[in-house]
Structure 1
Amino acid sequence: MKRKFPLHGAGLLVLGLVLTSCGDDNGNGEELSLTLAYDQPQDSSYGIMADEFADTLYELSDGTIEVGQYPGGSLGDEPETIEDARAGSIDLVFASMGNISTAVPEAAVFSLHYLYEDEDHLMAGTTDPQVWEIFADMVSESAGDLHGLGVTTAGFRSTYATEPIEDMGDLEGVRFRIQPSTTEEEYWGAYGALPTTVDFSELYTALQTGAVDGAENTPAFYQIAQHHEVATYLSLTQHIGNQIGSVISQDTWESLSEEQQEWVTEAFHAGAEAGADAALEANDVALDELQEAGVEVLEPDVSEMQDIALGLTDEEAEALGEYAQEVVEMTRSLVE
């Protein structure tokens, strides 16, 4: 099923742009090469999104703008590439909202637990044009050296561990890997776990050696990273909609002509739609393949986690700021 994304708005893509001088001062007619960094493999939904973005931008620009992709964390992990985009050494970055929040704290609102009731609600909260506009505003206010392009999703994140997690009590004392976010720390601490930050590139080894006991991600990324080899229990907590943002270096953005900015925005729209469709399908396929590979897929009792999370939502949103509160209100209104 096709997901309808707004043609305008902002998000967390960081584009690394190199200009080849052959045009006027406004960038018209220039041939551009943009650097795009993301920390997932190119055969993941991130890569599908990046390919669609690059192909669409090349077509819209009549071949004058190309995108050089740097997948798999080859230019650093997400927080590092976001900082490089702020410095202007990378043009474009795809990153999870949890990591975007290291530069734009209010982006952590997209990682509030149990904010979305089901997949339809998740998609409505991802594609709503007002949500994109709020995201753009929070990026501009918190990180003036970045420009937000838009928001997409990789589906729901769930919990995986070296021992089964069937209810909140099983999280007590578990060394649990989280993204670097005070919001995440609040939630997992409230569930009884011991929140621990580990770079995604180091997580396999951390699980293998017992440095951490569990982590969370979508089924597809759990499979792609081969974490199921060392953490064989997947609990479908579906606690977070795995929202992905797109940001572009403000220096890069301002170097583009108005027409080129429109091309970039439209291209991200196409990439966001393709990436979301691919991600949701990949999660379904991954669940079947993981079970065939011997992973025990559990449907835990999440009622206690939901009660704690819903009790924290307004408090966390208020602490994050006005834009975060707007996102929560807008998201709730989509199911009323």
Structure 2
Amino acid sequence: MRSKTRIAFLAATAITALALAGCSGTGGDNAGDSAGDGAATSPTVMKLALNQPETHPSYIALEAFGEQLKEATDGRWDIEVHANSTLGNQDEYLQSVSQGVIDLAIVSAPQLENLNKEFVLFSLPKVFDNIDHQMSVLDDQELVGDVYSSLEESNNISVVGGLTQGERSIYTKDGIVETPADLAGKKIRVQESPVFLAMIEALGASPTPLPFGDVYSGLQSGVVDGAENNEISYFSNKHHEVAPYFSLTRHLVGADFLIINSDTLAEMSDEDRAAFDEGWTAAWEHHTELWKTDTKTAVADAEAGGAEFAEVDTEAFAEALEPLIDEFLTEDSQIALYEAIRSAAE
């Protein structure tokens, strides 16, 4: 059990503790009383941190995941989703999950790169052909299982699985970007990741790291001239209001990952762990279908709000980004995983 380490951490991080005040406790001092042992079992409510709004497919699918888990475990386990970055930004989620301040979080692939270089594969351009190819890989335990478990001993974090971020493109305040040359001199918001920094530099722009929650104000104030993301995040976070030009560069199919505190996961009985895994499969499948339909809706709604979507010179962008594969895949294990992912597309 990890109560002593958690209490120490909560005392040292009062601000985080205040943000969580009033929520049900995390972790499983109660979880050891499995069904049928005759002991009274109190529900264990796991907090899940998310930086997207309640209208986002991730929130909808994860809420359903919690409901299914609660029903399947007769109330022994539940998930409480905290949307809109109310539990902090993604760069804070890793430490919070590792220390058990929160149990679960959705983090983008770049957040995991510094912990294990294998995760760089999930952020590189043109690794995945499309969403279906991506999700078949992210759910293939034989292919990615070792990567998912690689953070357990060092960081007390287990990767449960992935969610698609769809195709990511570039949007700007001042005009459509047709070729990389149109990005010269522009400050483009990126996640703070070596791959994303190099990607924007390869396209001729100036990469500017910002927390996701600061992108709207950054665009509005001129701190950045544009950003890169998918259509759903673009519309659901109202970025179309301040950056109405969406250039369909489709430079990569992005990935999010559900991470969980490894101690919390270990506290589940075999029966409850099976229910958790089954619920997760239903969640990512639900999310994928929502993503496909909601992308079309987001484009239509953004256009109705004044946004302009346009195709670009796809070959010019692909040529500019091609060197990133050789630049970042420097280890045999990375290359082997890349080749396996590409083979899965054939």
Task: Write the distance in 1 (CA, Å) between the matches of 2:222 and 2:212.
Answer: 15
Counterpart for residue 16 of structure 2: none
Q: Does the CA contact (< 8 Å) of 1:35 and 1:67 recur in 2?
A: yes
Task: Write the distance in 2 (CA, Å) between the matches of 1:211 and 1:22.
Answer: 47
Task: Write the distance in 1 (CA, Å) between the matches of 2:31 and 2:255.
Answer: 38
Counterpart for residue 7 of structure 2: none
SS in 1 for 2:85: coil
Counterpart for residue 148 of structure 1: 159
The amino acid that maps onto 2:296 is D
Residue 230 to residue 26, structure 1, CA distance change in 2 (3 Å): same
Task: Write the distance in 1 (CA, Å) between the matches of 2:84 and 2:36.
Answer: 31
Give TM-score scaled by structure 2 length.
0.85
Q: Percent identity?
A: 29
Indicate the larger mover: 209-218 or 116-125: 116-125
The amino acid that maps onto 2:99 is A
Residue 102 to residue 37, structure 1, CA distance change in 2 (3 Å): farther
Counterpart for residue 160 of structure 1: 171
Residue 246 to residue 206, structure 1, CA distance change in 2 (3 Å): same
Counterpart for residue 59 of structure 2: 47
Q: Does the CA contact (< 8 Å) of 1:97 and 1:244 recur in 2?
A: yes
Task: State which of 320, 325, 332 in structure 1 corresponds to 2:335.
Answer: 325
Aligned: 1:313 with 2:325: yes
What are the within-5 Å matches in structure 2 for residues 1-336 of structure 1? 17-19=26-28, 21=30, 23-24=32-33, 29=41, 31-140=43-152, 143-163=154-174, 164-318=176-330, 322=333, 324-336=334-346
SS in 2 for 1:18: coil
Structure of greater Rg: 2
Shift of residue 117 of structure 1?
Answer: 2.5
Q: Does the CA contact (< 8 Å) of 2:139 and 2:161 recur in 1?
A: no
CA RMSD of aligned residues (A): 2.3
The amino acid that maps onto 1:159 is I
Shift of residue 25 of structure 1?
Answer: 9.0
Shift of residue 18 of structure 1?
Answer: 3.4
User: How far does the alpha carbon of each residue in 1:201-232 deviate from its partner, in whole angstroms, 9 at most, with x for none?
Assistant: 11101001110011111101100110000001
Residue 24 to residue 126, structure 1, CA distance change in 2 (3 Å): closer
Shift of residue 19 of structure 1?
Answer: 3.4
Task: Write the distance in 1 (CA, Å) between the matches of 2:116 and 2:326.
Answer: 19
Give TM-score scaled by structure 1 length.
0.87
Any stretches of 5+ residues in structure 2 without a counterpart?
1-24
Aligned residues: 318
Q: Does the CA contact (< 8 Å) of 1:27 and 1:255 recur in 2?
A: no
Shift of residue 30 of structure 1?
Answer: 5.2
Counterpart for residue 17 of structure 2: none
Q: Does the CA contact (< 8 Å) of 1:102 and 1:180 recur in 2?
A: no
Higher relative contact order (CA 8 A, sep 6+): 1
Shift of residue 93 of structure 1?
Answer: 0.5
Task: Write the distance in 2 (CA, Å) between the matches of 1:36 and 1:80.
Answer: 13
SS in 2 for 1:17: coil
